[in-house]
Amino acid sequence: MPNSDNAHGVHNKETVIYTKPDGDNTTFADVAAAQSYFLSTAALTVYDECATQIQWALVSNTGLKVTYAFGTKGTDTAEADDWTAQFHARKKALSEEIKGPFNISAIAFDHTEAGDDKMTVTAAGHTFVAGETVVFDSVGGFTGTSEEGNINEDPGIKVASVSGNDFVTGATDNETMSYTSGGTVQALYHSWNNVGGSWATSDSHLF
């Protein structure tokens, strides 16, 4: 929920509309589903901690719209410490950050259920969270195309869960190949957003 710092009024209202990548036919049942699709956990935290007023809405069940405004900490507050500046500084940092690459030391596959070949990846110090999309590079033991199970050629694999230096992915196409050595993994998208879509400001506010 937004912060409650409205003693000195609420200012600097902005509206942003998030749009899916071209060719993506995903639809959303509610705002929460759209938030999870478009925005990282860190991005949602920035909205909640910095905005004093905030309202979300679906755009035709395919996009996400948000209007937000900021309280001020008073006339004696340095501009960089005020909520508006904090929001934009934190958003900029996340919008420029890509997690990784992290060195891989082990990969184990779960072949217990046909067509559901999840893998557990060990990459010390990784900072991934569930829901992020990652890509692999130069991992030993994998050849061919992504459809044949080569994770180095896969355009993006979702992180399903995280435990310390390990993370588990969603299903892959690999049924026979095994990890031998080396390789790295990094996030596919910047740390603000979960998908390669776009966002733009709008004058059509929600409040």
Tens of pLDDT, residue by residue over 119-130, are: 999 999 999 998
In this prediction, residue 177 carries a pLDDT of: 92
Structure tokens at 31: 């705002």
- Provide DSSP, 38-68: HB-HHHHHHHHHH-SEEEEEEETTTEEEEEE
Q: What is the dihedral of CA 158, 162, 166, 172, to 10 degrees?
A: -20
- Residue ranges and CATH numbers for the domains of the chain are 10-98+194-201 (3.30.70), 102-187 (2.40.30)
- State the pLDDT confidence band at 115, using cuts at 50, 70 and 90: low
The model's pTM is: 0.82
- State the pLDDT confidence band at 137, using cuts at 50, 70 and 90: very high
C-alpha angle 203-197-192 in degrees, rounded to nearest 5 = 85
162: left (phi over 0), alpha (psi -120 to 50) or beta: beta
The average pLDDT across 141-166 equals 95
In this prediction, residue 99 carries a pLDDT of: 96
pLDDT of 141 over the 90 cut: yes
pLDDT in tens, 30-61: 999 999 999 999 999 999 999 999 999 999 99
